[in-house]
Amino acid sequence: MSQSIPTPHYLIDAAALRRNMEKVARLRELSGAKALLALKCFATWSAFDDMRPFMDGTTSSSLYELRLGRTKFGGETHAYSVAWAEDEIDEAVGYADKIIFNSIGQLERFADRAEGIACGLRLNPQISTSGFDLADPARPFSRLGEWDSEKIAGVLDKISGFMIHYNCENEDFALFDRQLTDIENRFGNLLAQVAWVSLGGGIHFTGEGYPLEALAARLKAFAERFGVQVYLEPGEAAITRTATLELTVLDILHNGKDLAVVDSSIEAHLLDLLIYRLPAKIAPDEGPHRYMICGKSCLAGDIFGEFAFPERLKVGDRISVQDTAGYTMVKKNWFNGVKMPAIAIRDVDGTLRLVRSFGYEDYEASLS
Amino acid sequence: MSQSIPTPHYLIDAAALRRNMEKVARLRELSGAKALLALKCFATWSAFDDMRPFMDGTTSSSLYELRLGRTKFGGETHAYSVAWAEDEIDEAVGYADKIIFNSIGQLERFADRAEGIACGLRLNPQISTSGFDLADPARPFSRLGEWDSEKIAGVLDKISGFMIHYNCENEDFALFDRQLTDIENRFGNLLAQVAWVSLGGGIHFTGEGYPLEALAARLKAFAERFGVQVYLEPGEAAITRTATLELTVLDILHNGKDLAVVDSSIEAHLLDLLIYRLPAKIAPDEGPHRYMICGKSCLAGDIFGEFAFPERLKVGDRISVQDTAGYTMVKKNWFNGVKMPAIAIRDVDGTLRLVRSFGYEDYEASLS
């Protein structure tokens, strides 16, 4: 635990991160694929020293992520954005090793200004593994990438590679294998004409029991068939189960159920739980005492979920919400002025480091 | 427009704000009720000079909002929080004129430390006007306030008033009237024993055609019947239709529909559209050319909505999203590292003031 640091705080466990990183490194070694951290998921740069030796660099979804990746992580730096602005493109090219355009329109507008670095195009294979329409890049009328092979063939002279991001926490290697075969069949002609292909993120290869060797072999076969350098862009897979959100119980109520109010808010600190209507994870979630864990914001639905505890909860008890590294710190906000969680890292040797804390001045300066 | 300020930016229209404020002032005058700005909805303190003459002060949902209200707005300052922490309570009492506890447990724990200022309790009438379960304080097992009259009667010696927040953008005066009568019937015995009652926010009395005089008379009758000072806590009603989010079209795509990608993201800048699955408002939404307006984040569902335009859109066009003052700037976040909108105010005399802009350094410092 991290009792010496006041709650709320996100606590990153460098030992857990190391275990994921070793799987990333092994996949790179076996497959020949390069692995770039997807900063949209996790951009807590104080942890980058623990990741850099195991990954090739970063990929981004905006100019600011790109700059963070170049300056704080280093290595190979991919620039992607759904749409670059006129006044961003030169700066973006300055940071990037490769720039990936989302549309043929963007490619044609900006390719001239990206001379000197590799250009790529996002290819949308119109398949996806996401169970959430909100997160499905293959949803109808998707703006995410191009899918018309003929149109794409017309701009092949401007690009040296493709980015194809269509997986979403996909734990099923057989499904990955089948869908990649679909892509090979449908777009093989294009893939054979480029030098590199990024298969994006969303492959949950660091999960317990994932057949890493089979994935590596499949990626290697893909690379050899088309003569391409393969990239992966792990986000969640890189940092899954490496952080907790440490909270304190502030009040206990009995309104038909036993409720515990904690010093946090899902809307402010774990936003995806609210957006996707998902419960938080609390371990071990066992015992005779059941509580609904509630946030302290004004939102009626600010509920972490219902969980079992071995003992009755009381004011002052500590609660650790599990698996809170991905898509959390990058989305935290000042809703209700709820105190923003600090960020701490427990190093591999057990040392606890507080790397950022936020106070009233930060709240005031978030507005004007 | 505000062509001289780069997009994206929130643009607050002080003339529109003045129109709302004059309605607030008129309601206060006719009813005798006091009006406190609910900072959870709008806390852009550069606009407070334009609001202070028309309102009595602020109410809050956390220590930081409370401190902002005391230091930046002044006037009467109400402190409310779903749960105060042990290490917050003394500081909170130092800023507040009244402190309102959410539960009898919190009241009993902290009443001694609030000596010298008025104490109140949140009363949950178990009715609500919200169409969204997420935002309904009367939802089953709600943690928001006490509803057992007998238990409440047992702590009346510790409080001088109640806060009853149960409306949500309620435009229907007849419904308000009926529900207030229900509350009078059910809790009249308690109400007659306190000095003040806050009826919370959510009454849309600044809306076009709202019967302000009837509301004022109803509030006055309520106040006289129980011998209480009535408070209202307008959030959205105070700032409705006073701001736009100014955006630029970055790309046009044709993927079965005509799509325009703008330099913003609903998740990052207009979060409630994503949480409540609502479309943005674009005016006048008329003309022969229909576009799906899309955000530039990686989220497939980052869609502002589909709107009609008089002319074909092209890269570089400006788009103004309407009615973006409430629950927007207070929730903005760095998702995807998308550039955070600046905040500008167009004064009543037409002068444009840029009051806050955000850059890469702010993004980097949001993490660690």
Q: If we measure between CA atoms, which residue out of B104, B98, B95, B99 comes closest to residue B123?
A: B104
The answer to whether the Cβ–Cβ distance between B368 and A356 falls below 8 Å is yes
Distance (Å) from the C-alpha of residue B129 to the closest C-alpha of chain A? Answer: 13
Q: Which chain B residues have a beta carbon less than 8 Å from that of A253?
A: 103, 105, 143
Give mean pLDDT, residues B17-41.
98
Q: If we measure between CA atoms, which residue out of B24, B28, B26, B30 comes closest to residue B42?
A: B24
Cross-strand pairs, B119:
B99
Phi, psi of B362 (to 5 degrees): -65, -40
- The string of pLDDT tens digits covering residues A281-319 is 999 999 999 999 999 999 999 999 999 999 999 999 999
Q: In which residue are the tokens 């005031």 written?
A: A364
Q: Tokens at residue A154, please?
A: 């017309």
The answer to whether the Cβ–Cβ distance between B261 and A364 falls below 8 Å is no
| Residue in chain B nearest A136 by alpha carbon | B300
Distance (Å, whole) CA B21 – CA B19: 5
Distance (Å, whole) CA A186 – CA A148: 11
Distance (Å, whole) CA A4 – CA B328: 35
Judge whether B361 is closer than 8 Å to chain A, CB to CB.
no
CATH code for the structural domain at B14-238: 3.20.20.10
Residue A1 — very low, low, confident or very high, per pLDDT cuts 50/70/90? low
Percentage above 90 pLDDT, chain A: 96
The answer to whether the Cβ–Cβ distance between B251 and A106 falls below 8 Å is yes
Enumerate long-range contacts of A104-113, CB under 8 Å, 24 or more apart. Answer: A104/A146, A104/A151, A104/A152, A104/A154, A104/A155, A105/B251, A105/B252, A105/B253, A105/B315, A106/B251, A107/A155, A107/A158, A107/A159, A108/A155, A108/A158, A109/B315, A110/A84, A111/A158, A113/A89
Q: If we measure between CA atoms, which residue out of A216, A230, A131 comes closest to residue A184?
A: A230
Residue A2 — very low, low, confident or very high, per pLDDT cuts 50/70/90? low
Q: If we measure between CA atoms, which residue out of B105, B60, B95 comes closest to residue B81?
A: B60
- The string of pLDDT tens digits covering residues B145-168 is 999 999 999 999 999 999 999 999
Q: If we measure between CA atoms, which residue out of B292, B245, B298, B244 comes closest to residue B267?
A: B298
Residue B2 — very low, low, confident or very high, per pLDDT cuts 50/70/90? low
Q: How many residues comprise chain B?
A: 368
- The string of pLDDT tens digits covering residues A113-122 is 999 999 999 9
Q: Is A88 helix (H, G, I), strand (E, B) or coil?
A: coil
pLDDT exceeds cutoff 80 at B3: no
Contact between residue B87 and residue B69 where contact means Cβ atoms under 8 Å apart: no
Sorted by where each begins, the domain ranges of chain A are 14-238, 241-365
CA atoms within 13 A on the CB side of B348: 9
Residues 6 or more apart whose Cβ sits within 8 Å of residue B218 = B173, B176, B177, B180
Kindly report the pTM of this predicted structure: 0.97
Distance (Å) from the C-alpha of residue B69 to the closest C-alpha of chain A? Answer: 11
Q: State the helix-helix crossing angle for B212-226 and B14-31, rounded to 10 degrees.
A: 40
DSSP output for A162-223: EE----SSB--HHHHHHHHHHHHHHHHHHHTTSSEEE--S-B-TTSTT--HHHHHHHHHHHH
Give the Cβ contact number of residue B35 at 10 Å.
27
| Residue in chain B nearest A301 by alpha carbon | B134
Q: Is B260 helix (H, G, I), strand (E, B) or coil?
A: strand
Distance (Å, whole) CA A330 – CA A45: 11
Phi, psi of A326 (to 5 degrees): -90, 130
The answer to whether the Cβ–Cβ distance between B367 and A64 falls below 8 Å is no
pLDDT exceeds cutoff 60 at A365: yes
Contact between residue A290 and residue A332 where contact means Cβ atoms under 8 Å apart: no
Give mean pLDDT, residues A331-350.
98
Q: Which chain B residues have a beta carbon less than 8 Å from that of A133?
A: 300-301
pLDDT exceeds cutoff 60 at B84: yes
Give mean pLDDT, residues A247-275.
97
Q: In which residue are the tokens 């447990």 written?
A: B105
What pLDDT does residue A92 have? Answer: 98
- CATH architecture entry for B241-365: Beta Barrel (2.40)
Distance (Å) from the C-alpha of residue B46 to the closest C-alpha of chain A? Answer: 5
| Residue in chain B nearest A339 by alpha carbon | B64
The answer to whether the Cβ–Cβ distance between B135 and A300 falls below 8 Å is yes
Give mean pLDDT, residues B188-199.
98
Q: Is B40 helix (H, G, I), strand (E, B) or coil?
A: coil
**Residues 176 to 205 of A: which have CB under 8 A from any B CB?**
none
Residues 6 or more apart whose Cβ sits within 8 Å of residue B130 = A300, B136, B137, B168, B202
Q: How many helices (H) and strands (E) does chain A have?
A: 11, 17
Contact between residue A14 and residue A21 where contact means Cβ atoms under 8 Å apart: no
Residues 6 or more apart whose Cβ sits within 8 Å of residue A113 = A89, A90, A93
Q: In which residue are the tokens 């009720």 written?
A: B33
Residue A130 — very low, low, confident or very high, per pLDDT cuts 50/70/90? confident
The answer to whether the Cβ–Cβ distance between B356 and A367 falls below 8 Å is yes
pLDDT exceeds cutoff 80 at B1: no
Judge whether B131 is closer than 8 Å to chain A, CB to CB.
no
Q: What angle do CA A168, A174, A180 make, to 5 degrees?
A: 65
Contact between residue B237 and residue B206 where contact means Cβ atoms under 8 Å apart: yes
What pLDDT does residue B130 have? Answer: 86
What's the first-to-final CA gap in chain A, in angstroms? Answer: 37
Q: Which chain A residues have a beta carbon less than 8 Å from that of B334?
A: 64, 330-331
Distance (Å) from the C-alpha of residue B312 to the closest C-alpha of chain A? Answer: 16
The answer to whether the Cβ–Cβ distance between B134 and A360 falls below 8 Å is no
Q: Which chain A residues have a beta carbon less than 8 Å from that of B101?
A: none
Query: What's the Cα-to-Cα distance from A77 to each of A162, B161, B181, B366, rounded to whole Å?
Result: 15, 59, 64, 21
Q: Of A87, A103, A239, A298, which to mutate for an interface test with B (greatest number of B Cβ within 10 Å)?
A: A298
Q: Is B13 exposed, middle or buried (0-12, 13-18, 19+ CB in 10 A)?
A: middle
Residues 6 or more apart whose Cβ sits within 8 Å of residue B267 = A275, A331, B274, B295, B297, B299, B302, B333, B335, B336
Distance (Å, whole) CA A294 – CA B193: 31
Percentage above 90 pLDDT, chain B: 97
Q: Of A71, A139, A250, A258, which to mutate for an interface test with B (greatest number of B Cβ within 10 Å)?
A: A250
Query: What's the Cα-to-Cα distance from A309 to each of A1, A167, A256, A278, A304, rounded to whole Å?
Result: 17, 35, 18, 20, 14
| Dihedral over alpha carbons A257, A261, A266, A267 (to 10 degrees) | 110
Contact between residue A314 and residue A249 where contact means Cβ atoms under 8 Å apart: yes
